[in-house]
Amino acid sequence: MRGSGRARRPGGDIRRFAGAVVSSLLGALASVGVTVAWIPLRRGHSSVEVALALVLVMTAAGSSRRRPAVAGAAAGAAVGFTYFDTLPFDHLAIARPPDLVTAVMLTIVGVLTAELALRVARTRQSEGSARAYLDRVRDAAALLAHGEELVVLIGAVAEELAAVLHVDDCWFSTEPPPPDAPLVDRSGELQPEGTGASQVVLPVWALGRIVGHFVLSAASAGRLPADRLRVAMTLADQVGAALAAQTPLPPLPPDGATPELRPRLRVVGADESAAGAVGPSSGRARRGWRLPAAG
């Protein structure tokens, strides 16, 4: 089963680098803009006043949760304050010792307050993400509790996994997993860790056995964060519970025997076959799905 989610297209590293450059430039421009705006007032007011304004700019940059913005704002503040707002004006030099002390304190206090603002903003973002992850798990559990059809539950979980992990694609199968693909273990860790694989296998457990798996496909799937993988494992457990309740499991093999690897359940998209299409429910206006006979 393939679920639609937010795609992470190739070239993500380039986009992140470009975003960091843009953030640093914006931070620098904001600080320099304040120092330029202070030019008409620089002869009748203390340089401490513009320094306090620059601290506020750096703090605002920290609240954006991007350290490049903080670095850019700090660099822009130091250069702009020295060039525009201290004697000799329009030179990268500071003639008066009090202005030198102000410049040093501006940089130190500004960076510290910006870092504090950044951490507070990231903590709030993490709390919001945790609530969102809990809501996704609760939605999947509600589908199971309400007795939704197995195919609808699997499709919904595939979509939730694609959204939580930000992968390009996600589908469920009971066929042998892709060779050399990293595996998510029961602790929610990726084994092996830090690989450059484009696919990751998320096993689905039922009654102590792996009865299927989700395949997570993305350019950097081998570097998925552990906290999101634990959420994904919890979502996959909902499917395992549904399979244990709705699909008869084969008897365990005798001790020492190797179970035969063959598909028990295959979920395919309606675009692969129009026969037996089922319309998703619970407000998920997606493609139809069908369940062929277990083989």
pLDDT of the chain, 295 residues: tens digit per residue: 443 333 334 445 687 788 889 999 999 999 999 999 999 998 888 889 999 999 999 999 998 888 999 999 999 999 999 999 998 999 999 999 999 999 999 999 999 999 998 888 877 766 666 676 667 767 777 776 766 678 888 888 898 888 888 888 899 988 888 888 899 988 888 888 767 778 899 999 988 888 899 999 887 777 888 888 888 888 899 888 888 876 555 555 555 454 443 333 444 433 443 333 333 333 333 333 344 343 4
Question: Which phi and psi angles does 172 have, rounded to 5°?
Answer: -110, 140
For the whole prediction, is pTM greater than 0.85? no
